[in-house]
Amino acid sequence: MNQFFSLKRFILLVLKHWADNKKRYILSVLAFIGLLITWFVFVLVVDDGRPMDYEIQVITYFFSLFAVGTFYASQYFRDLGSRAKGINFLLVPASLFEKLLCSLLYTVIFFLIIFSTAFYLVDFLMVAISNTFIGNKAAVANVFDIVFLRFNSDSTITLLFIFFSIQSAFLLGSVYFKKYGFIKTIISGFVAVFLLVCLVFFLYDFLLPKGEYQSGFLTSYRVRIDGVNDRLVEVPRWIGKVCSFIVMYAIAPFLWIVSYYRLREKQV
């Protein structure tokens, strides 16, 4: 049998993960539904204008998606922080690739499906309640409808890919940190972003002549001379495209690969 990937072993692993965690998962989904209902009831009570309008549904969806999704990812490999659970996890006769793939199946695919289903169940119910008791005619929002997403000029798909990138960082954090993975990943994330900002804005500012970035993904720079003879320095457009492609699509797979190698080195 293939030692890197076997569908049979992978299915066994997925079933085993479900058997080990089903109680926790079912309770977590119920708790999420409860919290969501509480939040929407709160909105209905405090907002007597348009309590269930589009924005509140979309913001609730994405805020809870980011909060719950990252927290769940940060918990997935937390067993590795405990010697007993770590031994149990590492000695299961499946390849590390299968174990990582199983984590992605649960934290990315199953999570998104279950999360969206739970959200819409509550959303349908709360919109119906709002329309019945408050009289204002709200509609169930299509959160994936890119046209109506007003707080971001890009599409929802873009936002989902940003979510996958951030979530993959939390998944890596759960492999990397023995304890407090969620908190440590947040702190590490802030440090990384801070260093990046320092690098891009302060260091470049120090190295480059006086001026400022123009529109685009840090690909055009206006060298200020006297306002009339200013020079615009532009790197080729494809570099900007490559950079935005990397930010959008490559971060998550890259961090999954890092997680795989980190998992390979893992000791108890």
The residue ranges that bind other proteins (CB under 8 A) are 1, 3, 6, 9, 12, 15-16, 19-20, 23, 79, 82-88, 90-96, 265, 267-268
Least distance between other proteins and beta carbon 192 (Å): 26
Residue 92 or 239: which CB sits closer to other proteins? 92
Least distance between other proteins and beta carbon 265 (Å): 8
Residue 21 or 214: which CB sits closer to other proteins? 21
CB atoms within 10 A of CB 258: 16
Question: C-alpha dihedral over 185, 191, 195, 198, to 10 degrees?
Answer: 140
Least distance between other proteins and beta carbon 257 (Å): 18
Residue 82 or 142: which CB sits closer to other proteins? 82
Least distance between other proteins and beta carbon 39 (Å): 31
Least distance between other proteins and beta carbon 78 (Å): 12
238-241 long-range Cβ contacts below 8 angstroms, 24+ apart: 240/216
The answer to whether 233 touches 221, Cβ cutoff 8 Å, is yes
Residue 92 or 247: which CB sits closer to other proteins? 92
Least distance between other proteins and beta carbon 79 (Å): 8
DSSP 219: -
Residue 101 or 143: which CB sits closer to other proteins? 101
Look-up: residue for tokens 């119920």?
30
Look-up: residue for tokens 């001379």?
225
Which residues, 6+ apart, have CB-to-CB distance to 120 below 8 Å? 140
The answer to whether 207 touches 193, Cβ cutoff 8 Å, is no
Between the alpha carbon of residue 211 and those of residues 169, 198, 202, 221, 226, the distances in Å are 34, 17, 12, 7, 11
Adjacent-strand bridge partners of 231: 223
Least distance between other proteins and beta carbon 103 (Å): 16
Residue 22 or 231: which CB sits closer to other proteins? 22
Between the alpha carbon of residue 151 and those of residues 62, 203, 222, 229, the distances in Å are 11, 31, 28, 37
Residue 15 or 157: which CB sits closer to other proteins? 15
What is the C-alpha to C-alpha distance for residues 267 and 17, in angstroms, rounded to an integer?
Answer: 21
